[in-house]
Amino acid sequence: MTLKVQGEQRGEWTVLRVVGELDIATSPGVRQRVHDAVADGRRHLVLDLSEVLFCDSSGVGVLVAARRLMRSCAGELRLILPAQGAEDGSHVNRVLAALGVRRLFDCYPDLQAAAGETGTPLSA
């Protein structure tokens, strides 16, 4: 399966919707899109990972690096990790929790909550 990354603006938030498998072959593309957003002056970034079917350690590395990059430029990163998503629940949510890094991220159940004032982060 390939990876698709689609971008859109929601107010002050740049939303990157990631669909497919986030692995060693595809994670550099996501990393580049995050860097491109920062280079364009975007400081509020949402990564919608609700349609990611698989995530390996390189994918987790991209997420950690994105968090570090956003913090270094006084930006903010939010992840969309629904309890149910993709085919059988949010794979990325389970991977981050298993590795003990889920708590590093502000996670939301959907785009409305992540890009708006209506939602609060999901607990780790």
As given in the structure block, the two tokens for residue 35 are 């860097």
pLDDT per residue over 88-112, tens digit each? Answer: 457 788 888 889 898 999 999 899 9
Mean pLDDT, residues 107-124 taken together: 72
pLDDT per residue over 3-50, tens digit each? Answer: 999 999 999 999 999 999 999 999 999 999 999 999 999 999 999 998
Interatomic CA distance for residues 46 and 108, integer angstroms? 10
Q: Which residues of 35-53 are buried (b: 16+ CB within 10 A; e: fewer)?
A: eebbeeebebbbbbbbbbb
Interatomic CA distance for residues 68 and 20, integer angstroms? 24
